[in-house]
Amino acid sequence: EQTQDNLLFYPDGTKMLGELEPGIAYNPRADNYKLLLDEKDGGYGDARKIVASGFKVIRVYLSSAEKIEELEGISKKIYEQYGLKTYAIFSPYSLNVIDKKNKIYLYDAINKFVEHLAVYPWVLVQVGNEDHYYLKGGMLAETNKGIPLTKREYYEYYDMVAGLLKTKINEKISGKEWPKSILLGQGIHLDSERGEKELEESIELIKQMKNIDGLAINAYLHPPKLYSVLTRYLSERLRMPIVLGEFGWSRYNSTPETQREFNREVWSILGQGMQKGWCAGGFVFTYDDKKEGDEASGSSEASKAYDRMFGIKGSLLTTKSVYYESSIDTSHFSELSQSTDDNVFWRAAQQF
């Protein structure tokens, strides 16, 4: 049965995410959040299109302190106009504020994030987003570079960040019913023995965190039934709410219809998990209303490839589907790694 411990709540006590608030990742070109605004306000009407397709929350990836301030007024406007909530990620790595000795830049970023975003009731908060991949020796860290922390120091540091965010938020919303939930953002790869070991190590370290209220896990798995196993496994092991921070299916060697049906099936499976308390919400990756050659302006070729492969286009939306379709040609891009039927993970989850 579902328990309160499996759920997330807004400060006013209403349920956060879940079946009634499907979410979608939002990656505007050059981090231009003004595109969310209606055309008459200088935007592309992205918020209107997203809501018309059934989504209730956008997940945003903040790359600089300046973007925090820019998003403040925009998030307020799209909430007032369309009821669209904002799930904002505070990433010490992306904001370049990780320093064990001098925390002044971290404090400044936290103050700005809280004052301009986190204090608002329509804004949800996550700390980090696959930042652990950038630890020295991590899968996304450059050679001889990376976050200068050990794995244990990393989780302790991000727990400290979550604690500072909570303290600052509590100062700002004094007298409210209770503080806002803060989730930890994490990625997962299950296609090797190393992946299994890293998963177990991460679980034990996350258990020791004192200021995290739930885990947002980014996972690209196939077949869809693996999402049921994953969310139940993590829920049972961590005893905290589990959100699918990102899920989706690449269009490489597939069709828009295949992608749409995959996303529908995954959402149905997550919904069953939400009813049973294994999952507290989910975000499909990713909204994209750009044309080929125009996507992810100024970003790396890898980021452009993700836009083309996972981007879900608004111009072809149907009123019957909660998901967008796209027909962008990705045949000339190399295939990105994606987990498939995975014996390693099945072994780790045999108890279920």
Task: Report residue 101 as tokens.
Answer: 């000795």
CA nearest to 124, candidates 211, 46, 182: 182
Please check the confidence at residue 72 and state whether its pLDDT lies above 50: yes
Q: What is the pLDDT of residues 73-89, one digit of tens each?
A: 999 999 999 999 999 99
Pairing of strands 57-61, 85-90: parallel
d(CA 286, CA 202): 26
Q: How far is CA 221 from CA 117, 160, 218, in A?
A: 32, 31, 10
Helix (H) or strand (E) holding 205: helix 193-207
Looking at residue 307, its pLDDT comes to 52
Please give the span between the terminal C-alpha atoms of the chain, in angstroms, as a whole number.
16
* Greater pLDDT, 194 or 73: 73
**Strand ranges inside 163-308, DSSP E:** 182-187, 214-218, 242-247, 281-287
- Using N-to-C axis directions, what is the helix angle for 104-113 and 151-172, rounded to 10°? 50
Looking at residue 194, its pLDDT comes to 66
Q: Which amino acid is at 32?
A: N
- Over residues 155-183, the mean pLDDT reads 85
Q: What percent of the chain clears pLDDT 70, i.e. is strictly above it?
A: 74
Give burial (CB, 10 Å; 0-12/13-18/19+) of 118. Answer: buried
Q: Provide the pLDDT confidence category of residue 15 given band limits of 50, 70 and 90.
A: confident
Please check the confidence at residue 146 and state whether its pLDDT lies above 90: no
Please check the confidence at residue 262 and state whether its pLDDT lies above 90: no
* Greater pLDDT, 206 or 190: 206
